[in-house]
């Protein structure tokens, strides 16, 4: 009998048993290439889930399998208690929005939104009312008579969204929906999409390679790499408690330091020992110690103020400072770390209070709970 992996147990614990969408041991092969490897995942009704990962990780293939656009090689997909694994897309209950919008250029905005409604046989007065309702819902009530080319990219994406939800589908699929937009429009529209999803209560899956997008929009994030799920969790869990080196490195900035395990909760970096988050690596094992730049605490000197964890504090020199608006990014070097350079993000207030500047010697502290320890070689690489 097959036993569950730790990741599958984690997924089981993080989802309710009455899941709206359930994917069970799904595989997808293209010839000899395995694009998806034994994917199991459940999604609650009304949940907003992001599939996040680099290009080629399998996230779009998984979305297409859910939609029936690329049938899985093995495994099953169940929606609302119904096995849809082998149903064609037309018989599945979903709306989809693509990166390219896929609007009909020769049809007006009203006709684009009404396309699915007209094919369903709905009466004309009802269609007209529904289209007006949808255009108002996406904030474009006056644009119905225009053609797609007359709208901005952000407006076209809203129309694509209106068309996708016109039939009140049970599931909304978003395939990199904002990546073709410029940065400011993208930030604005992701808040609008999330607000609309909450208002409608529609179960939504979005594919993205943009970590900021996933962190700001998702209820849960599914981080993928090389066709497998690396970690499933809330944005906070994924960011603060990564379970693999890939997740730690892919989500946000991360210092990765070559280290040696000294047993549970202890590592050697450079020429000194540090307390760390608990880990199971044997004494003497080569590991990677990782800490986020914003978790590093600056001190003017040991004598100036108390240090919570003296064992994790050491002197270093600020080699470079870069102003990034809400904080300063600094590059630090110290004898304790050998030749390793450390990146630390200090608040404007801390820089002002401690009078920090390039070439200044300071003391920094690395909180042990924020110093994560991973295997030296990523198994997936």
pTM above 0.85, yes or no: yes
State the pLDDT at residue 379.
Answer: 46
Q: In this structure, are residues 256 and 269 in contact, taking their beta carbons and an 8 Å threshold?
A: no
Beta strand 255-261 with 266-269 is: antiparallel
Digit-coded pLDDT (tens) for 296-308: 999 986 556 678 8
Query: Which pLDDT value is given to residue 269?
Result: 93
- Pairwise CA distance, residues 75 & 68, whole Å: 13
**Do residues 76 and 173 share a domain?**
yes
What per-residue confidence (pLDDT) applies to 225? 96
Confidence (pLDDT) at 184: 87
What was the pLDDT predicted at 3?
42
Task: Tell me the C-alpha distance between 109 and 163, whole Å.
Answer: 9
Q: 317 in helix, strand or coil? A: strand
CATH number at residue 22: 3.40.50.300
pLDDT in the model for residue 4: 46
* pLDDT at res. 336: 85
pLDDT over 70, % of the chain? 93
Contacts for 192 with CB less than 8 Å, ≥ 6 apart: 138, 139, 158
Residue 208 domain-assigned (yes or no): yes
**pLDDT value for 271:** 86
Residue 66 belongs to some domain of the structure: yes
For 4-47, how does the pLDDT look when each residue is reduced to its tens digit (9 = 90+)?
455 555 544 444 457 999 999 999 999 999 999 999 999 999 99
**Residue 132, Cα to own-chain centre: how many angstroms?**
34
List the beta strands (DSSP E) in 234-337.
255-261, 266-269, 272-275, 286-291, 297-299, 313-323, 327-333
Same domain (yes/no): 222, 257: no
Q: At which of 232, 248, 264 does a domain end?
A: 248
In this structure, the answer to whether residues 364 and 272 fall within a common structural domain is yes
Question: Going by C-beta distance under 8 Å and a sequence separation of 6 or more, which residues neighbour residue 128?
Answer: none
- Per-residue model confidence (pLDDT) at position 17: 56
Phi, psi (deg, nearest 5) at residue 2: -75, 130
Residue 122 lies in a domain: no
Please indicate, yes or no, if residue 23 is contained in any of the structural domains. yes
Classify residue 164: in a domain, yes or no: no
Q: How far is CA 117 from CA 44, 138, 162, in A?
A: 27, 17, 12
Domain, as residue range, for 224: 6-93+169-248
Query: Given this model, what pLDDT does residue 301 score?
Result: 66
Total domains in the fold of the chain: 2
Same domain, yes or no, for 335 and 297? yes
Low-confidence ranges of the chain (pLDDT < 50): 1-4, 11-16, 379-381
Do 290 and 174 have their domain in common?
no
Q: At what angle do helices 153-165 and 109-119 cross, to 10 degrees?
A: 20
Q: Are residues 294 and 212 in the same domain?
A: no
For residue range 53-63, list pLDDT tens digits in order.
999 999 999 99
């Amino acid at each position: 009998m097959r036993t569950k992996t730790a990741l599958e147990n984690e997924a089981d614990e993080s989802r309710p048993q009455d899941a709206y969408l359930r994917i069970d041991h799904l595989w997808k092969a293209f010839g000899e290439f395995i694009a998806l490897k034994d994917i199991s995942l459940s999604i609650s009704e009304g949940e907003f889930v992001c599939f996040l990962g680099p290009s080629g990780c399998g996230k779009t293939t998984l979305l297409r399998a859910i939609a029936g656009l690329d049938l899985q090689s093995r495994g099953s997909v169940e929606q609302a208690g119904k096995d849809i694994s082998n149903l064609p897309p037309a018989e599945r209950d979903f709306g989809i929005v693509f990166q390219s919008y896929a609007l009909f250029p020769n049809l007006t905005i009203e006709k684009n939104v009404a396309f699915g409604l007209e094919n369903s046989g709905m009466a004309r007065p009802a269609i007209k009312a529904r289209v007006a309702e949808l255009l108002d819902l996406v904030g474009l009530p006056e644009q119905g008579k225009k053609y797609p080319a007359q709208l901005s990219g952000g407006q076209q994406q809203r129309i694509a969204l209106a068309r996708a939800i016109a039939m009140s589908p049970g599931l909304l699929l978003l395939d990199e929906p904002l990546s073709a937009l410029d940065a400011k429009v993208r930030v604005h529209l992701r808040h609008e999409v999330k607000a609309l999803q909450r208002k409608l209560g529609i179960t939504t899956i979005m594919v993205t390679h943009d970590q900021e997008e996933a962190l700001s929009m998702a209820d849960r994030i599914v981080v993928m790499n090389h066709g497998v799920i690396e970690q499933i969790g809330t944005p906070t869990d994924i960011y603060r408690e990564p379970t693999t080196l890939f997740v730690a490195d892919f989500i946000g900035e991360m210092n990765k330091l070559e280290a040696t395990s000294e047993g549970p909760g202890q590592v050697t970096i450079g020429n000194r020992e540090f307390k760390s988050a608990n880990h199971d690596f044997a004494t003497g094992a080569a590991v990677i110690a990782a800490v986020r730049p914003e978790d590093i605490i600056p001190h003017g000197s040991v004598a100036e103020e108390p240090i919570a964890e003296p064992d994790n504090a050491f002197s270093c020199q600020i080699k470079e400072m870069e102003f990034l608006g809400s904080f300063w990014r600094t590059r630090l070097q110290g004898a304790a770390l050998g030749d390793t350079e450390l990146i630390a993000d200090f608040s404007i207030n801390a820089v002002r209070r401690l009078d920090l500047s390039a070439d200044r010697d300071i003391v920094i502290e690395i909180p042990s709970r924020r110093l994560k320890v991973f295997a030296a070689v990523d198994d997936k690489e």
